[in-house]
A = this chain, B = another copy of it.
């Protein structure tokens, strides 16, 4: 044992290890391996378990949340596709192993294990886009302790972030009813989180994003024309508008509130004619201004020119504009920060593991305030005869019975209602199902979300605070 390893609970030394000489060039900001996007303790637990032999015990970890953010009626699962994409980049190469060795994070036996690491287990989960409730087992990771514990941090980072954004997005698109909502929040969040946020927004029903990288990676529609800087770059608003129309065509959206909105709208129609695509309002009392601008556009004969609004919107502001003559919404800050709930409380918990005799045993933390239910769960949504969700049903019992659970023929439950099973295979013995990754994955998730949200009781879409839209019940298969 080295001194450094002994002291790793509470560092006694300076927080900073500064190289002896200045680097010749800036450090790389991104690296192809995602393996170190991991809490140190995942690796030290692995090391100790490899040393005592428990690392090879068969384990089931479940991802779930104990509660929804205060007042929320449902959550939206997002990021599953990104988890699967990340798995392929979860590799320990020379750079990662060298770091772990240099800092004595783990021992040689563990380095050997990590050098060849590929996840060979099985991942099952709710389809991306599915709504979830307290206790919903949205992801199950099954494999040896060694391979399953390694994924904890990365899986939670992705699901907690993306689901927080998708959950907010869904409320916004609910509030907007059939008006399109566009994502413009890249500048308000970490530059890579912005790409994931754009993706999650589309899962939640947004129709496009300003983020080009999200367009590149996931085939999302990208949008945007000009900012105030473009107007101010020019000698006057008229020449800025003329330039924009010359380049974009008359279908463009002109930002009319740099100086005076009424004059801006006049100049916009002077520049683009009555066939101008849209004007955008980015400040002030959007409801009152939209009414004035709509009337002015109609007076000028620009009856087809749309009104886009984009200033500090959230689901409540969108709902407040329902009666205003607004054609579409652009949302930034509140989307990427989860509209008051910037992360989900999802946890990654060991719920079952084999014992020394190889039998699966349920396990659970038992101390105050955080009692969880041990054992693997099957999950289904119980629907009434009209296909409306009634409750989230979790099945527990002997592990083999839970694994084998499926609804009776025809999908009917005991009460004559219908049971919709919620788990789908994502990774089987290390092989990823490609339906859930890339652009297809996003499309499938957006469709799943629209369908799942449509199935919820009507009250689920209210923005006011309330209980989860459906209760979570546990049924025993014993």
Contact = CB atoms under 8 A, between A and B. Distances in A.
A191 B9 contact: no
A316 interface: no
Interface in A21-43: 22-23, 25-32, 34, 36-43
Contact of A27 (B162, B196, B437): B437
A66 to B, nearest CB: 12
B89 A16 contact: no
B438 A283 contact: no
Nearest to A50: B247
A38 B212 contact: yes
- How many copies of this chain? 2
A97 to B, nearest CB: 11
B194 A439 contact: no
Contact of A29 (B86, B152, B348): B86
Given A30-B32, A43-B212, A367-B261, A222 B103 contact: yes
Interface in A216-256: 216-230, 232-235, 239, 243-244, 246-253
Range of interface residues on chain A? 35 or more
Contacts of A333: 343, 345
Contact of A219 (B17, B31, B158, B229): B17
A202 B16 contact: yes
Contacts of A190: 157-158, 161-162, 189-190, 192-193, 196
A58 B269 CA distance: 29
A340 B343 CA distance: 11
A363 interface: yes
A248 B29 contact: no
Nearest to A443: B16
A462 interface: no
A260 interface: yes
B29 A89 contact: yes
A370 B193 CA distance: 27
Across chains A and B, which 5 residue pairs bring their CB atoms closest together, nearest first?
A9-B253, A6-B251, A41-B224, A190-B193, A40-B224
9 contacts: A9-B280, A13-B221, A37-B186, A37-B194, A44-B224, A45-B229, A52-B234, A187-B348, A260-B366
